[in-house]
Amino acid sequence: NSAVTQNSSISFRIKPSFLDPISVVRHLYKAVPMRNVLQYDSACFEPDTLLVYVPKKSASCLQSNLEYTATINFGHFGQRMSGSIKPLEPSLIVLGDSHALGWGVSDDQTFAHHLETNGIGVLNLAVSSYGTGRELQRLRQYAKTHPLD
């Protein structure tokens, strides 16, 4: 025995144990190909023993969802590139989550890009879903090979 849930033209067979609303939503979130979660894309991210996952160095990815399609590029340290033709020497390091990373926008649409077009060099170390602890650890990892003033 199973229930059938319909969403537009997509239908799913859901086992009776999945009939509570939270379980149904979780199941649909994973089963319906509506979201391309960037940090789960092996072309863009790789496992990390300390941070769980990190952007791949010098990776270029296409993130495509129902709402948008965006090209995302990462630099030699795994930093989000800003789309500037000639990147400036960084005077500002950005830490944060998907908002700071620029979720859903191409490199030349991030706020880091807008800062660079106004003459402020930016190093964007933000990673989608990172909280404060992982953001600071990512900064520590960067500082090991790039001394900060």
Higher pLDDT, 142 or 9: 142
Distance CA 45, CA 123 (A): 18
Distance CA 25, CA 72 (A): 28
pTM: 0.74
Query: Which 3 state secondary structure label does DSSP give 117?
Result: helix
Distance CA 67, CA 75 (A): 26
For 39, 99, 123, the CA distances from 140, given in Å and listed in that order, are: 20, 21, 14
132-145 pLDDT tens trace: 999 999 999 999 98
- Proportion of the chain above pLDDT 70, given as a percent: 79
* pLDDT for the residue 58: 94
Main-chain dihedrals φ then ψ at residue 84, nearest 5 degrees? -70, 140
DSSP 8-class letter at 108: G
26-48 pLDDT tens trace: 676 666 666 677 888 889 999 99
Task: Give me the mean pLDDT over the 64-76 stretch.
Answer: 89
Task: Give me the mean pLDDT over the 53-75 stretch.
Answer: 91
> Minimal CA–CA distance to 112: which of 76, 63, 125, 54?
125
What residues does 94 pair with on adjacent strands? 124
Task: Give me the mean pLDDT over the 87-104 stretch.
Answer: 90
